[in-house]
């Protein structure tokens, strides 16, 4: 979970408390959804996007919405080993 927040902070100046998609984004797997999709957008120099639009939907939906070749996206995903994540949502929600 910490990797998601750190990655988004470093690359997109992400502030969890100001995002409408937080804490829902913690539900998405970092190594197979968050990181590969965001890296594709960075490579395309598209850093001004709605994170909810990036995360929701299937990989096919993502590629169609942002005009990426599915084969290239699949190759990007293969670079990132699937990591099973623990639920540490409580660490990011103020007041809990």
Q: Which domain holds residue 20?
A: 2-89
Domain assignment present for residue 25? The answer is yes
State the total domains in the chain. 1
Dihedral-angle region of residue 57 (phi above 0 means left; psi in -120 to 50 means alpha; beta otherwise): left
- The pTM of the full predicted model, rounded to 2 decimals, is 0.72
Per residue in 20-56, pLDDT (tens digit) is 767 677 788 888 888 899 899 989 998 788 888 888 8
Domain assignment present for residue 29? The answer is yes
Domain assignment present for residue 95? The answer is no
Domain assignment present for residue 94? The answer is no
The whole-angstrom separation of Cα 89 and Cα 16 is 12
Domain assignment present for residue 96? The answer is no
CB atoms within 10 A of CB 19: 16
């Amino acid at each position: 979970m910490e990797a998601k927040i750190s990655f988004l902070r470093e690359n997109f100046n992400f502030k969890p408390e100001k995002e409408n998609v937080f804490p829902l984004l913690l539900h998405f797997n970092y190594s197979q959804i968050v990181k590969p999709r965001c890296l594709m957008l960075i490579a395309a120099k598209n850093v001004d996007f709605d994170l909810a639009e990036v995360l929701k939907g299937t990989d096919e939906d993502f590629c169609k919405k942002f005009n990426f070749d599915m084969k290239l996206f699949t190759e990007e995903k293969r670079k990132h080993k699937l990591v099973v994540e623990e639920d540490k949502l409580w660490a990011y929600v103020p007041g809990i």
